[in-house]
Amino acid sequence: AQSVTQPDIHITVSEGASLELRCNYSYGATPYLFWYVQSPGQGLQLLLKYFSGDTLVQGIKGFEAEFKRSQSSFNLRKPSVHWSDAAEYFCAVGAKDFGNEKLTFGTGTRLTIIP
Amino acid sequence: KAGVTQTPRYLIKTRGQQVTLSCSPISGHRSVSWYQQTPGQGLQFLFEYFSETQRNKGNFPGRFSGRQFSNSRSEMNVSTLELGDSALYLCASSSRGGHYEQYFGPGTRLTVT
């Protein structure tokens, strides 16, 4: 069965600083990979996705993510964060699990932005 | 296109009661999945419906059930509510479902007292 690990529960960065959120997965093949963002009390919004091809993926709101097969990672990056980026971020893996196709979500990383 | 809508947005129920939550997917999407989100357990998959058939199911007791109608709208029902059922219930729709991208609604906040 696939699994997703987001090692950082909470990250604090200064506005204007760069950001990298970590995501590692466990799966026997290359899964589909996603990053979602959730503002307090809201649903999840899809930031970007990776299915195949170019390992650097561009998403909405200036985010990008890089798939590294050798490290089983799909880290999310942003060159310069804005106060509005404060939210919870979820990495997700889409894969087949005993014939069932499903999305598995990580536990999330809460991002705090300080002025 | 309009996004995923969920009704009601907030709900307060008493232990032992039952509740029905509704989800309208993005137009043209045939897959609807339901998730329970709590601070302690995170996002947990409940079930997925595709073209009115339950295609996948998570590890929840039989008190949690769902259905999908011919217009792809879905309902989720929880019977005999317990305090631990208090959570944000999220619905997500997808054109292909399964392990492809899903688009989430704003959720229904259920509080059981």
Burial B68-80 (b: 16+ CB within 10 A, else e): beeebebbbebee
Cross-strand pairs, A103? A94
Of B53, B45, B50, B36, the closest CA to residue B87 belongs to: B36
Q: What are the mean pLDDT values of chain A's consecutive 10-residue runs (115 residues total)? A: 93 97 91 94 93 94 96 97 97 85 92 96
Tell me what the pLDDT averaged over chain B comes to: 95
Contact A114, B68 (CB under 8 A): no
Specify the residue for token string 């993510």: A65
Which is higher by pLDDT, B99 or A15? A15
Contact A33, A92 (CB under 8 A): yes
3-state secondary structure of A62: helix
The pLDDT of residue A29: 82
Contact B106, B10 (CB under 8 A): no
Cross-strand pairs, A65? A57, A76
**Mean pLDDT for the stretch of residues B101-109:** 95
With beta carbons under 8 A apart, name residues in chain A contacting B43: 90, 105, 108
The pLDDT of residue B40: 85
Distance CA B99, CA A96 (A): 7
* Structure-block tokens of residue A104: 């598995």
Contact B103, B3 (CB under 8 A): yes
The pLDDT of residue B1: 72
The pLDDT of residue A14: 97
The pLDDT of residue A86: 97
The pLDDT of residue A6: 97
Of B95, B99, B68, the closest CA to residue A99 belongs to: B99
Cα dihedral across residues A3, B37, B5, B17: positive or negative: positive
Q: Name the residue among A31, A43, A108 with its Cβ closest to that of B104.
A: A43
Q: Do A44 and B100 touch (CB under 8 A)?
A: no
Contact B36, B102 (CB under 8 A): no
Note the pLDDT tens digit of each residue in B32-66.
999 999 998 899 999 999 999 999 999 999 999 99
Asked if pLDDT for residue B73 goes beyond 90, the answer is: yes
Asked if pLDDT for residue B76 goes beyond 80, the answer is: yes
Q: Do A100 and B105 touch (CB under 8 A)?
A: no
User: Quick one: CA torsion of A46, A111, A86, B12, rounded to 10 degrees?
Assistant: 80
CA distance A109 to chain B (A): 11
Of B31, B10, A89, the closest CA to residue B21 belongs to: B10
Q: Do A49 and B101 touch (CB under 8 A)?
A: yes
